[in-house]
Chain A
Amino acid sequence: MAISENTWVVLSGQFRFQWEEAQQCYVLLYPEGMVQLNPSAGEILSRCQQQTTIADVISDLQNSFVEADPKALAADVVEFIHEANDQGWLDLKN
């Protein structure tokens, strides 16, 4: 499906998202498995735990990271959403 900033996104119910103190990173947990997320991936997915639009994720991140270039940040988010969707981590809806 076509992904735009108006697309609704939420973490798939197959995964649990949480901060792991011992690993100092966010992780995705699934049957007998785990994915370690780097800081940007963690920040994005932490904003997808309830259903939201990609636009809202972007603006929330822009507010949290004011020093980042807003256009580059927006492009990075959309690119990551594509990757995360390919991995099956997300439920998307237009």
Chain B
Amino acid sequence: MADSITIASDQQQSIPLWLLAELSYSCPLQCSYCSNPINYPQTRAAELSTEEWKTVFKDARKLGAVQLGLSGGEPLVRPDLEELIAEARSLGFYSNLITSAIGADAARLAAIHEAGLDHIQISFQGSNQDVNDHFAGTKSFHHKVLMANEAKKLGFPMVLNFVLHRQNIHQIGDMLKLAEELKADFVELANSQYYGWALKNIDALLPSRQQLLDAEAITNDFRKRHRGNMDVIFVVPDYYENRPKACCNGWATTFLTVTPNGNVQPCQSAQELPGLELPNVREQSLEWAWRESPLFNAFRGTDWMPEPCRSCPEKEQDLGGCRCQAYLLTGDAFATDPVCDLSPKHSIIENAVAKAQNIADLNIDGFGYDIDSAPVKPLLFRNPKNAKLLSKK
């Protein structure tokens, strides 16, 4: 019986276990580290209909997808969300709503519960109103707290997600306290990763090494003192690792993303990669996209690798790291992810990290942060005006 338990990471490669349904890029928040494309407003007119999403769900389920992430932007902007949740439930998906909670009230959460949603993940941008609302770009903290309370009253398993960066990481102790008060089942303390909007804002977001060490220490201390029912994950920025993660558990092995206008991608950033046509559910079948499309096959396995990955004894573990990160930082989608210290371009990461060590811009006294003193490097908030600005560059 010793081998009675196997974990999903050994999954054979032909099944997209995880479907991420980005229902809309519209969002009432303006987080400067958003993983949506910089030109997101351009997709507004062409969002998939309710029926089109139901077909996506059906087809994904046939391929073997079982975890469904309902995301965006903000999935609550869709008036058909409850209908989509009910459809997902009837197909046998385990559904996860990944939301800011802005756009819901108690009645709507009850309807969502009735429709059969399995789990809700609510984001927080800080541990108190000042910091949360500043980085969310909108008044939202009190409503998030109200909705978290409602979610627990309804009996939802609840994950609270805090995206961490150099301007809010000092609140980590209070974030954990807040999560406990709200009776979260899991807490994700997720340092921002640097694609799209976050990469444009990296100077204002990447924490210093000391900030990360202090945050990790607080987290570990919390875990020791609260051996309880709340699991805490702390995710370090890739830039501080010396080996990359396998891109989405392995390019086109586990994850399948469908964007608001029906593009099918192995990950949220793949539209950035040059020369690879994006399949679209309005033109091709989901099955063709997953199994046959040039995009999905471009980086499966290890045959595509140039050196140093090609001869590397670790290549099966991290599969060369993230293609999007390699392209964004080196201009070459086939390159070793520069996070790897064996990458000939690793100095790109070292330079970015070196820049982040100087925290004079944060007006930090010891460990405190003065929100009223504007940092030297301003944030570009995620909104249509800035999207236009950045797309022109």
What is A's interface to B at a CB cutoff of 8 Å?
A: 14, 16, 18, 20-23, 27, 29-38, 40-41, 76, 79-80, 83, 87
CB-defined contacts of A14 to chain B, threshold 8 Å: 157, 185
Of residues 53 through 97 on chain B, the ones whose CB sits less than 8 Å from some CB of chain A are 62-64, 66-67, 69, 92, 94, 96
When the two chains form their complex, are residues B159 and A38 in contact, meaning their CB atoms are under 8 A apart? no
**Are B185 and A23 in contact, with the CB atoms below 8 A?**
no
* Residues of chain A within 8 A of B15, CB atoms compared: 22-23
The answer to whether B240 has its CB under 8 Å from any CB of chain A is no
Q: Are A36 and B6 in contact (CB under 8 A)?
A: yes
Nearest B-chain residue to A78, judged by Cβ:
B1
Total contacting residues, chain B, CB less than 8 A: 27
Main secondary structure on chain A at its contact with chain B? mixed
Given contacts A22-B66, A36-B6, 6 further A-B contacts (CB under 8 A): A27-B66, A31-B119, A34-B8, A34-B67, A37-B5, A83-B5
**Are B119 and A32 closer than 8 Å at their CB atoms?**
yes
> B185 to chain A: which residues have CB within 8 Å?
14, 31
Neighbouring A residues of B8 by C-beta, 8 Å: 33-36
* Chain B residues whose CB sits within 8 angstroms of the CB of A21 once the complex forms: 64
CB of A31 within 8 A of CB of B157, answer yes
Q: In the assembly, what is the distance between CA of A41 and CA of B3, in Å?
A: 10
**Inter-chain contact B159/A31, CB cutoff 8 Å:** yes
Least Cβ–Cβ distance between A70 and chain B, in angstroms: 16
How many A-B residue contacts, CB cutoff 8 Å?
73
Q: How far is the CA of A16 from the CA of B388 in the complex (A)?
A: 44
Whole-angstrom distance between the Cβ of A29 and the nearest chain B Cβ: 4
B17: Cβ under 8 A from any A Cβ = yes
Q: Which residue of B lies closest to A31 (CB)?
A: B119
B residues 175-224 near A (Cβ < 8 Å) are 185-186
User: A31's contact among B1, B3, B4, B121, by CB below 8 Å, is which?
Assistant: B121
Which residues of chain A come closer than 8 Å to B159, judged between CB atoms?
Answer: 31-32
A54–B246 alpha-carbon span in the complex (Å): 41
Which residue of chain A is the closest to B96 with respect to CB atoms?
A32
A34–B17 contact, CB under 8 A? yes
Q: Provide the bound-state CA to CA distance between A70 and B66, in Å.
A: 35
Q: Return the chain A residue nearest B17 by Cβ.
A: A34
Q: Is B386 an interface residue (CB 8 A)?
A: no
Q: Say yes or no: A83 contacts B64, CB within 8 Å.
A: no
